[in-house]
Amino acid sequence: MVLLRLLVLLFALVVSDLHSLPWFINVSESQGPGTVLQFFSFNCSSYTPTPTLELLNVQPPTTFFNPPSLARWQGTYVGKLTLSSSARLDALMVNHYKLWLKFTCGNYVTEGPLFVDVQRDLSHIQCAGQFASPAGEMIRVPETVRPGARLYILLLPGLELHGAQMSIISAQDPPHFPGPFSINEQGWLQAPSQGLLGQAQKVFQLQISVSFGQRQSCQGMVMVKVLPVSSSQVSFFEQAQNITIPENLAPGSEVVQVWARGVNLRYEILSPMPSPFFSIGHADGVVRTTAPLELARTPGTVVSRLQVKAFERHQPWDSAELNLTMNVRLVNLWPPRCLPALLVSQIPETAPVGTVLTTLTCEDPDSVGATLDYKLWFRSSSDPASLCLYDRVLEVNATLDCDTPGSCFQHAASILVLDGGQPQMTTEVPVLVMVTPVNEFSPACASRMFRVREDAAPHTLLGSVVGTDMDYPHDNIEYYTSGGPSTFAVDRLSGEVHLLGPLDYEQQRVYRLTVLLIDHGQDQNPNCHRSGSCTITIEVEDVNDHAPECEPPFQELTIYVPLGRSVEVTKVSCRIPQEPQRLAFSYSIVGGNSQNRFILQGAMLVHSDLVLGPFWPEQRNTYELLICVADAGPSIPHLSTTATIVVHPVFWKASREATSIHRTTVPSMMTPMLVTDTEAFWQPQPWFVVVLTATGALLLLVLGWLLGRLLQGLAHLLQAPSKLAQALLLNTIQGTKGSLEGFMEVPKMEISQAPSSIKSLQHFDGRAQDSRTGRDYLFNTCTGARRWL
């Protein structure tokens, strides 16, 4: 038992607190003096005076409760309320007490009620009172009572719930009894069917047995004394009364006092019996309440009809009855109660109009089922049209677009619930609606074009990709490249496009880069992203970074220059391999052009000699020309290269010699033709090299022998050029007329006069085409001899 009390104390320390008043506790009517009804725990600073706990009053007034005690336990003050030594709880007499408590801690004072409900204890139901005493219950009835009238009601509290069986077990044999008395299950003792006339002054002893439950019973005695009828009469001043009382009357409150004519009167309630809500004073006739009349809990109390009996104390049969109608008026005590008491909802901004956020359930404790009024009141500055209230249903009323800064995200409002009582009471239900962002739109960017020089350095900024996103926060985008060349990179946050590697206009002029845009931080779900893309075009601007290359870079040529004529030497062939489309070049002779005998006509090198006359020098010169070839056009800078051309000019004159035999006319102007021989390269097999080496050795021996023979005839051969030169000079002096014939005849004559050995050794080292006839011929630059092909 000590352990149980300790657990109760600990539980009280945890859950009891004066701020949770009022309290409702239930106590069984079987509890006796000293029973602990409630523990209280209080916090009070040690620097304040000793706190106090007082019992201010009890309704209805009684001495059943001791003043509460207060003790300190482990830094906390614990109060205790117990039943006093005079406590005799009876649920039938009073089943509800209201105790008013006051706690004082220094300057801090708080008060609160404690409601004690007395519960019936069915395990202790038994026959009690005068009925169970040895003398029994004495009742007095007039002899004029009508036959079968109700004489007495045996009240055994609680037995009516157990279906008690009652019977008279004592003998009722005539002639002492005029007839048998009877008792029913409700405990109504009824007069004999023959009546009691003539039985005055007689006392009938009735032994009554009460059986209930399994093998449970009790017995008692009722003594019925028949009294003679007197001349006095009891009566009420009025036969009926209508009384209206408020429902908030406390138990034990006085309702009305009834008066009747008579001497030494007593009052009792005949119906209903027992009366659950009202009692009457036996001596004064004051009707009081015995329980709360809250219509919300007990709607049947709105109208109560009581039948009150007034009778003389010593002659109970002399009585009168009064009908009381108690009308309980509704008092608006409590505001409406709502579930939930706080509305917190979270919806996405894409919620359609008409989306139900919550349904409020409210009721009026004072009047269950009464109609309530609902009003929506906004606290924040947000658009009040965003939400609406239809009866008890809170719905979305407009589009919840949160893509404008500060447009929504939170709606604070209140629902005011008003009842129809007097005075009207209101309950406020706070409403907080959180609108969560939804990633609705994909980021986008416009295609752009950037231009960059091909000689731009790495990390050069080309431009920026500007992405847009309509979701809030706006333009919260990251940039990435989707494939594409690694020559360029896009900054993840700013969208700036940077150059990472070298560019070459000749290899690639245009780059297309796909930029991927991914938004973030625009949805309640951090993993929800949208993406978009656009293509940027990067054009590489040409920069002149390759010098021309000439093929071949070095040439050595021998030309035959007639007197007073210009001769095309060669065409300088240059190109830029990396830029084959670039064909515009400028040419200039920057060195080796002594006497200015060479000029450039575009890419053509021309030997120009306009000097005419007999004093033209016969000589063979070598010119090493340096030709500067530079690219031309808008691209800068202009790069150049130098080609070297070694020219061996051979100057010769046209001659004429008259003969009487034959005359051939040759144009005075003959343009030599440069014959280019292309030698193919061949790499033989090793075995062939060995055979060729052996064969070459034998061939060298044969050539050595032939060379010796040739040297012997060389002296004779050197005389022939001297004679031919004289003939050419003579032809020049005679004039231009017939020069062609002399030119043709002299060689013929000279050749015909030459020894046969010289003819066989004739060597032709040039080839040309006759400009008149178009016929090709070979010629010897030393002798001037020709052979027609």
Residue 1's pLDDT band, with cuts at 50, 70 and 90, is: very low
Output the pLDDT for position 771: 65
Contacts 24+ apart (CB under 8 A), 551-556: 551/575, 553/641, 553/643, 553/644, 554/643, 554/644, 554/645, 554/646, 555/643, 555/644, 555/645, 555/646, 556/645, 556/646, 556/647, 556/648
pLDDT tens sequence across 429-445: 999 888 888 888 999 99
CATH class of 17-119: mainly beta
CATH architecture of 235-329: Sandwich (2.60)
From the list 469, 521, 511, 504, the residue with the least C-alpha distance to 490 is 511
Any idea which of 152-156, 308-312, 665-669 has the lowest mean pLDDT? 665-669
Output the pLDDT for position 262: 84
At the topology level, CATH places domain 444-541 in Immunoglobulin-like (2.60.40)
CATH of domain 337-436: 2.60.40.60
Q: Cα-flanking dihedrals φ and ψ of residue 345, to 5°?
A: -135, 150
At the topology level, CATH places domain 138-227 in Immunoglobulin-like (2.60.40)
Any idea which of 254-268, 529-543, 650-664, 689-703 has the lowest mean pLDDT? 650-664
Q: Where in the chain are all domains bearing CATH 2.60.40.60?
A: 17-119, 138-227, 235-329, 337-436, 444-541, 549-651
Using the predicted structure, report yes or no on whether residue 560 has a pLDDT greater than 70. Answer: yes
Using the predicted structure, report yes or no on whether residue 315 has a pLDDT greater than 80. Answer: no
* Model-wide pTM > 0.75: no
Residue 496's pLDDT band, with cuts at 50, 70 and 90, is: very high
Any idea which of 83-97, 140-154, 389-403, 659-673 has the lowest mean pLDDT? 659-673
From the list 219, 27, 49, 195, the residue with the least C-alpha distance to 114 is 27
Q: How far is CA 451 from CA 462, 536, 716, in A?
A: 7, 11, 79
pLDDT tens sequence across 628-654: 988 876 666 778 888 898 988 887 664
CATH class of 549-651: mainly beta
Contacts of 486 by beta carbon, 8 Å cutoff, 6+ apart: 500, 501
Using the predicted structure, report yes or no on whether residue 734 has a pLDDT greater than 60. Answer: no
Any idea which of 26-30, 106-110, 334-338, 673-677 has the lowest mean pLDDT? 673-677
Contacts 24+ apart (CB under 8 A), 501-504: 501/458, 502/458, 503/452, 503/453, 503/454, 503/455, 503/456, 503/540, 504/454, 504/540
Q: Both tokens of residue 161? A: 């719930």
pLDDT tens sequence across 4-21: 444 444 433 333 344 444
- Of 153 and 737, the one with more pLDDT: 153
- Of 611 and 147, the one with more pLDDT: 147
Are 497 and 461 a contacting pair, CB within 8 Å?
A: yes
Percent of the chain with pLDDT over 90: 20
